[in-house]
Structure 1
Amino acid sequence: MRAILLLAFLTLEVVTMGLALAQELYIRDLPNGGKLIVKPRDDTSAVALHVWFRVGSIYEKYDEKGMAHFLEHMLFNGSEKYPYGEVDKIIESLGGNINAGTSKDFTYYHIEIAAPYWREALEVLYQITLKALLDEKMIEKEKEIVIEELRRGKDNPSTVLWETFEKTAYKVSPYRFPVIGFENTIRNFTRDMLLRFYRDFYQPRNMAVIVVGNVNPEEVEREVTRTFGREEGRPVPKVQIPNEPEQIGARFEKLEDPRVEKAYWIIGWRVPPIGKTDYYGLVVLDEILGSGRTSVLYRELREKGLVYSYFAGDLGRPRDNMYVISATFDPDKYEEVKEKVLKLLEEVYKSLTEKQVESAKQKIISSRIFEEEKVEGEAYDIGYSYTVIRDIDFYRFFEKNVGRVRKVDVMKVYEKYLSKGDYVEVLMLPKGGSR
């Protein structure tokens, strides 16, 4: 009893810490429609500065496939203030890191730097995101770089496996297309096309500036207003993103690849979009099923030598979300692995206890707080919540919502989403392998 009470106390303490930290947000609407979110922290000497745009590959027309990713490359190729190569030199000379990422739902640019240099970092982010030159010669140069990146991806069996999985899972949704696009679309990009896409989506009304770290929020607001805030806010194009129709029955694709010696396998189910009420039950189920060395999949698959490696988790999508389990194993173990995974899902459902649920919740909440000790982790969570989920309360009340999950909520997730045979499956075998 004493141990149970201690666990309950620690869980409550962690939840309280998380909520206290999360509620100290300084949120302002810029005059041009942009959003500023600052999380001041005096427990660190670092600052993370992020600029998020609600645009990724699902916002592209077919002849624009790969454009969001291509623009991410182009924005480092010169701005009104900084010529090509200058940005990296500035940030590195100040001891910081700069990078960017493009996904199917969003694009973001970020710098992590010591607190005294946050203004210089903010100016750099302003220049590369809203003042890019998109020089014609650099566009042609970058095409070859991105196409080479695309070809290297095709040479990677894991990339082929995941792209095949998404093509199999999605028949209508633009999630079925790869972020990097296609060689023929990339080659046909013109400066006018890029400028139109850039002007439509890289602008204040489609933007959030996130700053987390040892800063004064009012000072940040003044600097952001002076830079990002002076740009014109324009109507953002309304892009109709079709939802994937309900799947009836299982889908299976088999690949053979002479480059692999092991079997590579993915199985996935439709699950609630990130942030919805029943999503938190999925988070707890995933913790029990596949997170860490104490998880069911680790003990029953990895420790017992049935698989070489595995991954489990949802794709974190605001629509048409999926929960996937992937694994690598000896080709002749495919049937055994699949049967075991499906059996383990059912066994977790049937044997689930409140104690398991409470333990999983405590681990999730603790992990979240440890992750957000780093300013870049917290800035990312804020940006993702506002930009992708379109609900900053996902960040604010994540711990509270996880804390509300009960055994029955976890069981309902299995019953509604994972218990039926409407899954998607892709198996890659060595050339000449059998099934």
Structure 2
Amino acid sequence: MRLSLLGVNEMKSKILFIAACFLFASGCASKGAETVKYDNGLTAVFLYNQESLAASVNVFVRAGAIDEKPSQAGLSHFLEHLMFKGSKNYPGDALSRNTENLGGYINAMTSKDFTRYYINIQKDGVPETIKMLADAMQNPLFPQEEIDKESKVVIEEIKIHLDNPVSVLYDKFCDMIYEKSAMKNSVIGRAEVIANVSRDEIYEYYSSHYVPEKMLVIIAGNFDVKKAQKLVAQTFGKFEKKAPPAEPNLIEPVHPSKNYVKKSDVEVSYMVNAFLGPDDSSDDMFAGDIASIILGGSKSSRLNMVLKEEKQLVYSIGSASVSSKGTGVFYIYSVFDAKNMDAIKTEVRKQIEKIIADGVTDEELNRAKIAVKTGWSFSQEKPSDIAHERGYWAVIGKPDYPDVYLSKIESVTSDDVKNFFTKYYLPDAVTNTALIPEKTK
């Protein structure tokens, strides 16, 4: 999981997804997009482009940290480590060996709200790759010796995570900004859970969440579409239909401000100032994207120009509006000398209140929109990236996001940006989380 304190990939995620869908909807006969829904609840998306040099076969499972109880903290991530450790028809390391023999690359990642398994491969390897991933998802063996081995690996990852001050700050930030939402759960989990979990508990978690209705198969790039669709129907389409578990609560009510400052073994100070944003049902997220660029999303942004260039209060500063399933978050992140912390908070508030009072200029608005379009133009077109972004937006319930995104961005006005901060920026509900050097007085 690409787990980032700064969350700067959020806008890139949207841009990549939009670019991908524009590419596949171009009307050219060698390119296209098809979505198939199977009777067992599974969805498959075929994004074919015969001009591509490769393909990417992906399985997204809507199972992540948000689905875990405290006694299961880290099981989604642990399961990711185990799923490629042998299956009924591909025991041992056969999955990895077969992938290498086909000239491919196999990997996986875990996030708060999904787990992704993928194999990047050349065109002729797609049929075997579909079979391998289907068998891994349906018939994992979970050998006890692999559980014992991987538990040590994961526990070591947890130790490294806890030794990283920025990772600790991110976890604390999530714990404070979310009181009710399961988004507060940490992806890395807890070492005591991983050390003591049994094979039966692992299998129970797997069988509960790895059900067709929570799975999304995405194949992107150059491949034989008819053959791929037939194989997906014969494999993933035959998985037993099961009722998925109840969805976790991801709506966070507004709550009073919280402040957390911890002395740590760091050379400089780090801080996140955040407030709750729109939920996934609101069009306010489009204004939020533009607002984040104008406030702190570029070198010409207000926060960068005032706090870094003019007043030299920070080494770096930025902002991001993060849309997710449930309640989103808007946050400002900064790196600075501890003595400037209060001045930074004051100046951030001043800049936001200035937008609330006066709005933004046409120049700022147009520059932010151009930033989105430029990012779109320069976005990557690798099948793996396209599949990842398509899967991400499908997982959070917006599979048709690109159909409206650019037009919605283009329609954002100065008043929309002003109203965004008026509606969501509540000074008494801003969460502040900081790490400062231990030597600080």
> Which residue does the alignment assign to 1:11?
none
Letter in 2 for 1:100: A
1:213 is the counterpart of 2:213: no
Alignment equivalent of 1:415, drawn from 405, 418, 422? 422
Letter in 2 for 1:363: A
Q: Is the Cα contact below 8 Å between 1:19 and 1:397 reproduced in 2?
A: no
Q: How far 1:221 sits from its partner (Å)? A: 0.8
Letter in 2 for 1:329: F
Trace 1:5-404 onto structure 2 (pairs within 5 A): 19=22, 21-22=24-25, 24-241=32-249, 243-248=251-256, 250-257=257-264, 259-274=265-280, 276-303=282-309, 305-349=312-356, 350-388=358-396, 390-404=397-411
* Structure 1 residues 84 and 344: CA distance shift in structure 2, 3 A: farther
Supply the distance in 2 between the matched residues of 1:273 and 1:365 (Cα, whole angstroms): 24
* Structure 1 residues 221 and 245: CA distance shift in structure 2, 3 A: same
Q: Is the Cα contact below 8 Å between 2:178 and 2:252 reproduced in 1?
A: yes
Q: How far 1:266 sits from its partner (Å)? A: 0.8
Q: How far 1:375 sits from its partner (Å)? A: 2.1
* Structure 1 residues 96 and 282: CA distance shift in structure 2, 3 A: same
Q: How far 1:19 sits from its partner (Å)? A: 4.8
* Structure 1 residues 261 and 25: CA distance shift in structure 2, 3 A: same
Q: Is the Cα contact below 8 Å between 1:59 and 1:241 reproduced in 2?
A: no
Question: Could you list the per-position Cα deviations for residues 94-146 of structure 1 after superposition, in whole angstroms to 9, with x for gaps in the alignment?
Answer: 33322211111111112222223222322232232222111122112222211
SS of the residue corresponding to residue 215 of structure 1 reads coil
Q: How far 1:348 sits from its partner (Å)? A: 4.2
Q: How far 1:356 sits from its partner (Å)? A: 2.5
Moved more, 304-313 or 18-27: 18-27
Q: Is the Cα contact below 8 Å between 1:47 and 1:375 reproduced in 2?
A: yes
Supply the distance in 2 between the matched residues of 1:110 and 1:183 (Cα, whole angstroms): 26
Supply the distance in 1 between the matched residues of 2:100 and 2:320 (Cα, whole angstroms): 35
Supply the distance in 2 between the matched residues of 1:186 and 1:158 (Cα, whole angstroms): 23
TM-score (norm 1): 0.89
Supply the distance in 1 between the matched residues of 2:225 and 2:402 (Cα, whole angstroms): 19
Supply the distance in 2 between the matched residues of 1:326 and 1:251 (Cα, whole angstroms): 16
SS of the residue corresponding to residue 314 of structure 1 reads strand
Supply the distance in 2 between the matched residues of 1:142 and 1:85 (Cα, whole angstroms): 14
Letter in 1 for 2:389: D
Supply the distance in 2 between the matched residues of 1:414 and 1:113 (Cα, whole angstroms): 45
Q: How far 1:423 sits from its partner (Å)? A: 0.6
Q: How far 1:351 sits from its partner (Å)? A: 4.8
SS of the residue corresponding to residue 312 of structure 1 reads strand
Q: Is the Cα contact below 8 Å between 1:22 and 1:396 reproduced in 2?
A: no
Q: Is the Cα contact below 8 Å between 2:65 and 2:111 reproduced in 1?
A: yes
TM-score (norm 2): 0.87
* Structure 1 residues 381 and 282: CA distance shift in structure 2, 3 A: same
Q: Is the Cα contact below 8 Å between 2:274 and 2:330 reproduced in 1?
A: yes
> Which residue does the alignment assign to 2:5?
none
Q: CA RMSD in A?
A: 2.3
Question: Could you list the per-position Cα deviations for residues 284-336 of structure 1 after superposition, in whole angstroms to 9, with x for gaps in the alignment?
Answer: 11122233333333333444543223342133321122111111111212122
- Structure 2: runs of 5+ lacking an equivalent: 1-17, 27-31
Supply the distance in 1 between the matched residues of 2:206 and 2:413 (Cα, whole angstroms): 45
Q: How far 1:184 sits from its partner (Å)? A: 2.1
Q: Is the Cα contact below 8 Å between 1:204 and 1:232 reproduced in 2?
A: yes
Supply the distance in 1 between the matched residues of 2:19 and 2:386 (Cα, whole angstroms): 17
SS of the residue corresponding to residue 387 of structure 2 reads helix
Q: How far 1:52 sits from its partner (Å)? A: 0.7
Question: Could you list the per-position Cα deviations for residues 40-97 of structure 1 after superposition, in whole angstroms to 9, with x for gaps in the alignment?
Answer: 2233212122111111111112211111111011112111222333333332343332
* Structure 1 residues 217 and 65: CA distance shift in structure 2, 3 A: same
* Structure 1 residues 166 and 16: CA distance shift in structure 2, 3 A: closer
* Structure 1 residues 16 and 118: CA distance shift in structure 2, 3 A: closer
SS of the residue corresponding to residue 204 of structure 2 reads helix
Letter in 1 for 2:260: E
Q: How far 1:369 sits from its partner (Å)? A: 4.6
Question: Could you list the per-position Cα deviations for residues 323-367 of structure 1 after superposition, in whole angstroms to 9, with x for gaps in the alignment?
Answer: 111111112121222222222333445251234323322321331
> Which residue does the alignment assign to 1:8?
none
Count of residue pairs the alignment pairs up: 417
Moved more, 178-187 or 343-352: 343-352
> Which residue does the alignment assign to 1:3?
none
SS of the residue corresponding to residue 86 of structure 2 reads coil
Letter in 2 for 1:131: N
Q: How far 1:18 sits from its partner (Å)? A: 6.3
- Structure 1: runs of 5+ lacking an equivalent: 1-14
Supply the distance in 2 between the matched residues of 1:184 and 1:17 (Cα, whole angstroms): 41
> Which residue does the alignment assign to 1:5?
none
Letter in 2 for 1:428: L
Q: How far 1:279 sits from its partner (Å)? A: 0.6
Identical amino acids, percent of aligned pairs: 28
Q: Is the Cα contact below 8 Å between 2:19 and 2:379 reproduced in 1?
A: no
Q: Is the Cα contact below 8 Å between 1:271 and 1:321 reproduced in 2?
A: yes
